[in-house]
Amino acid sequence: MDTLLYKDEYQGLSQNPQKFLDHSLEILSNVRILTKTVASGIFKQF
């Protein structure tokens, strides 16, 4: 069920490149924030 929903969303995104780009940038910024948080947490332990 989830894979079907994902497939539909993916098809929608592939038809709308701008939306796909925004989605990718959003994921990248979230990953960057997460990496910073984890890195600062590790540095605080040392």
The predicted-structure confidence for 1-46, as pLDDT tens digits, reads as follows 456 656 776 676 667 778 878 888 999 999 999 999 999 998 887 6
The beta strands (E) that lie in the chain are given as none
Query: Which contacts qualify for 14-17: CB closer than 8 Å, 24 or more apart?
Result: none
pLDDT in the model for residue 1: 47
Please state the pTM of the whole predicted model. Answer: 0.49
Q: Which residues, at least 6 apart from 27, have a Cβ–Cβ distance to it below 8 Å?
A: none
For tokens 């993916």, name the residue: 10
